[in-house]
Each structure stands twice: as C-alpha cells, then as structure tokens.
A and B are shown apart, each in its own frame.
Chain A
C-alpha cells in the first residue's frame, strides 16, 4: 500500500513540476491572449499587410528598448518589419502595470521560435521613462 502511495505521489510530483517548467511564461501568455491575440493572432503571424508578425520579427530585436512604450501607448505611422512596410495604427494598453509589460515582453520574446532577451521590472521601468 505504502509503495503504491509513493508511486502515485511521484507521478503527481512529475506532472506538477513538468507543467510548471513548460509554462514559465504563462502569466504573459494570459495577457497576450487578452490584449494582443485578436490582432497578432494566436501564432503571432499577424495579418497579411495590415498587422505585422511577432513571430520571427526583426522589429522586436531592433527596437527592444522601445517595446514597453509601444505596448503601453500604442504606435502610429509607418514601420518596417522583416522588410515589409506596415501602416495601421496600434492602440496601446494603458491599463497595464509595469510588471505586466515585462511579462508580456518575455512571453513574446520566447514564443514561436523567438529568442529575444529576458527583461525584468527595472529595465521596463527605465525604458518607460523614455516614452515620447
């Protein structure tokens, strides 16, 4: 009996640690689904020539410091992503807290094959000071 309990516990433990590991950006995922997914799509591919992709996007790397401001305040005017020009205004998400923005950036930077930098609260806060 004790042996069964032990194995049962072991299995439960494995499952819990496993799900924990594979979802290390799960908070950001939740925010992405609420705020970003309907335009940038669940797989981050964007929408043709209207909405730029996040998956494999060079813009994320080139404008790393600007990302917090873009997410918080939105963006207008032409931008070039992976050589393609986009010109559809994006609304900001003013209700986001600094920590939320950090979680979102970390999620996006580590999804769909992206291998961007890992940001944190302090860095996002510093970058938010530079918003225009």
Chain B
C-alpha cells in the first residue's frame, strides 16, 4: 500500500514537472484589443562570410540563435565561439535551426576576415552565419536581442559587449537566453532549443 502511494506520488510530481515546462515570450508585451502583442526583432539585412545577404527571411520558418563577437576580441569571444560551436555540432543536420553571429567590429571584420575565421572554427554557412554590415545597424540590433554592444576604447579590443546567446522563435520573439561563457548555462539553453523545436513544430511533426 505504502509503495503504491509512493509511486503514484512520484508519478504525479513527475507528470506535473513535464507539463509545467514552457518557454515564455521574453519580449515586452502589451494587450491590444484583448490580444497580447509583443515587441520583436526588427528587419535586418547583413552580409555573411560567403558574401551572401542574410535577412529575417534567411531564418523564415526556423528558430535561430544569435550572439555578438569580433574576430580580434581577446576576452570572452573564443569561449563563446567554443560553445556556439557545440550548438553548431548538435544541430548541424537539423534544418529547422539557424545561427547568426554579428561582428561588432565591422571595420576590421570584412567578409574575407570572417571567412578565415569561419574556416578556423571549421564551420559553414548557411547553418552558422558570421555577419558584417552597417555599423549602426549592427550595434542597434543588439538592443533587440537584449544584448549590449558598444564602442568603448577602454574595453579589451575596443568594444564592450556581453556573452549572451539568444534564442529566437519563428515569430521573431525571444524565448531563451544564456551566458555563452558558462558551459552549464549553454547546456540548459540547448535543452530549451530542443523544447522549442518540439513545441513549435508539433503541428507538422
């Protein structure tokens, strides 16, 4: 009797846990005519390591991961690149997932420089896009991704930016955030990605 009670209790707790998992939209929302309307990632157009234009349409119907970096960044970038690389390896063959890394040092990081960096990282577009573009637009869009990217001559490498990885759903909304220098946080982030894939594609799969 006792064991049955114990098992049913455990089951109850477990089922509760699995049902509870949701990924809320993290953007600021407002109720308009009884419906929630959330802020979303603005329109953008950048150029990747293969000189190919990358826009919102590139990620149409996909979920994608975004972060900021620059190739000569001496502080956190190699570590974030390592962990972005783990995400790349894990979702390499899943076409529902895209990746974009914005170089915030557009003067140094031309397309050929990005290409060399991509080769060094042993990664390829269109899965993982290392992009450059209009400096103002690149620094401005960081705001949409809840990230900081600022010119700062006192910072190592001349730019101040954070280590955030941001997960965007099919509707340009932010669903998960991780610190890209923290391996455990990135593990959790990848689980969130799996979860989002399941919930976003549940109608088709």
Contact = CB atoms under 8 A, between A and B. Distances in A.
B91 interface: no
Interface in B54-85: 72, 74-76, 78-79, 81-82, 85
Interface residues of B, number: 16
B117 A38 contact: no
Interface string A31-49: 0000000110100000111
A81 interface: no
Contacts of A41: 78-79, 82
B79 A48 contact: no
B75 A88 contact: no
B179 to A, nearest CB: 13
A48 B85 contact: yes
Contact of B75 (A38, A51, A89): A38
A88 B113 CA distance: 11
Contacts of B79: 38-39, 41
A131 interface: no
B75 A47 contact: no
A130 to B, nearest CB: 25
Nearest to B123: A48
Contacts of A87: 116
A49 B120 contact: yes
Nearest to A41: B82
Contacts of B22: none
A35 to B, nearest CB: 10
A117 B116 CA distance: 35
Contact of A38 (B76, B85, B116): B76
Interface string B120-136: 11100000000000000
A93 to B, nearest CB: 10
A50 interface: yes
B122 A48 contact: yes
Given A38-B75, A38-B76, A39-B74, A47 B119 contact: no
Contacts of B75: 38
Q: Which 8 A-B pairs have the closest CB atoms?
A: A50-B120, A49-B120, A39-B78, A48-B122, A47-B78, A91-B74, A38-B79, A48-B121
Given A47-B81, A49-B119, A49-B122, 19 more contacts: A38-B75, A38-B79, A39-B74, A39-B79, A41-B78, A41-B79, A41-B82, A47-B82, A47-B120, A48-B85, A48-B122, A49-B120, A50-B78, A50-B81, A50-B120, A50-B121, A87-B116, A89-B72, A91-B74
30 contacts: A38-B74, A38-B75, A38-B76, A38-B78, A38-B181, A39-B74, A39-B79, A41-B78, A41-B79, A41-B82, A47-B78, A47-B81, A47-B82, A47-B85, A47-B120, A47-B121, A48-B85, A48-B120, A48-B121, A48-B122, A49-B119, A49-B120, A49-B121, A49-B122, A50-B81, A50-B117, A50-B120, A50-B121, A88-B120, A91-B74
